[in-house]
Structure 1
């Protein structure tokens, strides 16, 4: 009922303002006062602010005269009016009082009276400020609630007079309030609103004046309240459900997200990435698990780097040892050639071989690089073949090289031992001319070298023995050495493939991993 409260409060504020006005006080105090024009102007200002809905009167107690926005009812002018109705109640209170309605004959309307007694500075009562508020003004406000709730609404003052009743004027006035509960206990309580259980009324007391609004709780109101509570409960339940789902999602995310990150990092470690780390944002058990995982991966990465460094050191040492192993093998075969030429008395050939061998030896010894170009290796082969032609005069070497392959890098002394074996062991017992074919090409990241001779070849038993590549005897030292170094610099697919047919010749295929120039120790 905020609209009724707001309207009555405006009326009460206007009456209080007029009652405390100095011009009004002077007019009420002095019957000869010249303030009547000013007072009249102020009354009409208030009257206009209320859309001219309620007449306002200022009445002197001394002679019952006054000023009004319309006409002062004759009842107010009666010399006995000060002891009647609203005026008697106003005499008993320092505040604005609200009294029952009365019919204004001139306007033929029923009005509700609001009045306040005015006192001079000595405390003597000098008059009244009265407002006649048309009953229909309140009725218009109440009708909106009546159309909505189909109930009964009453306005009562502290004297339990029914000032307004939506049921009609017959239910208004003193003695028209019939309740089972004692309404005086409601006035005496500190509660500003509540429920009269025995009468099915709810009440709301004004905080600024002595009146109360009673509203009968009808079935429509109950049904509407139940419907509102039901709809509100459903809405609240929906909100709570949504919030619960959101809260559950946030909680699950706070738990599952770190676990997913940890699982993802574990898969990275499984794939060999030991540098992966988990972002730790919490200090709970999952956070501690993430920190432990980070410590573990850091430790594993450190151990792997140490192992790799040690393996690299061992690899370099082993490669150097294998390379050193090749030099005496090469020296032995060359010196063996010089020996046989010396036994045959070929001093000139021995001298030429020694000169050629010295040049070749200086070239090998002076080059300390781990890797050399294919072209460099072919130059060694060419020099070695020139030495061997002193023994095998009808020896012929043919080259089939892919364009650009001579610039590729390979480990040192990988091809020369193959040609050496083809000459020493393939051509040793061959009568007449001998041919050696050397081919080289690239294939899917690998370098393929083929050395084929048309020498005496090998039997099946000899071929099986040679394919074992055991370091037994000078013949197999070179092949075993090449096989091991090919795998160390490449992978398991690298190495030698040996095919031979007795009486037709031997073919050795060497597969090496292609080495980029930036990775070669040149």
Structure 2
């Protein structure tokens, strides 16, 4: 029992912890989820602004180089001390090229070279001639290396837009190697025909890639982000140098949980991408997460500890109560639990003390009743002397009648002796049906000896005895004579039949007396259900025997069994007793008795 109770307290503690912590856990998870969504939204907006800002700076740089390539439409004489810009028509520029005035062309190229410090080299190539210049040299040392760069699929002599070449080294200039990317523009003579202009040449400008790298390095990754700047599907610059110079889809860099923010510009075929890992994105709030889980763990520990303390406080007084109960089991009723609390446990202790006192009083009462019972048994043993003396006296009278050859008187005395012995003899709740019928037969014999009429008794049953309550047939037979046959002249017939049907046995006692009216029968049945011992007339109680039989059968067998009466006026009465069909192993021969 103690183990079972402890399991209940353990189960109670677990359920309480579950019900107490589950809402808290759900609230914390809900707050985490809301905070994560809010943080993701804010960070997404920041990264979108960041990538847009980077893209704008890249676009501004390329727009400046686009404007730089248009300087060929302006002319500055090298002899002027002041830079005097005037409109330079393509026809004049074509004449300058055709005249092969190299000093003027070099002055023009040098002017473009000095416009922007990021320009590392400049090249102008016509159909007949070509010019190369950096800040030191006016020629290139490796034409093959140079043309491997400019004579690619990117080069289109008919294009009227800015052409862009990926980063490369200027190893074609002697002694001045730098990493640059190249922008180029074709020039045409539009004075003759706008639809089919005459090709003049192509201007190539080598720009230091550090100009763009400074844009990338101006943003320092704080959370492990990867910044990628791509032009025409090729990675030019990246916070991860291993990616530069490769062609790939930026989305291929993403892993599960990563996020990518990007902005593109179709004019130059360029795009800026920032790829952020999930762990990097939430690195700044990881401390907050850790602190929240720590607070949750502390709350859980406090809650669990409180529940354990509460469980022990509940179980400790019950343990003491269980120990006192063991003393009760050993018969020690002089116990009392201390009532130190005003809650349910204290009330339970108080009720336990009241129970122990009541048990002590009850045991004393039972002990005294047992003493009285023993005294009654002694008295009963003494009273057995008197029936014994009565049996011996009746036996002397019977033997005297026999000696005087008066057999009827002897038989009557024998029947009376057996009935007295049956009534006041050894106590037994159940007797065989054959024994009960034998007593009824002797009763009818004595009845016929003292009345003027005659009772014809017939008994029929299958010989398999039943165990039935003692003295249930004789009161019914007596009642049949007194209330049925006697008012009808004193002579009549009483029949007893036994029928077995499945689990029930039916004993019917029938007489051909005066019978009862429906109202009398209804009144009799109503009295059966009352607490009165019988039906009282102005002189005495009557039908006490029937009421006694009815109550005994109901008490012994319960519902579905008992006593039922049917009666018709001037026809007779049938009393049916229903009992369980339990065979009694006695005389198994069919019997028919006639008295």
TM range (shorter): 0.3 to 0.5
The structure, 1 or 2, with the larger RCO (C-alpha pairs under 8 Å, 6+ apart) is 2
| TM-score, normalization by structure 1 | 0.36
TM-score (normalised: structure 2): 0.32
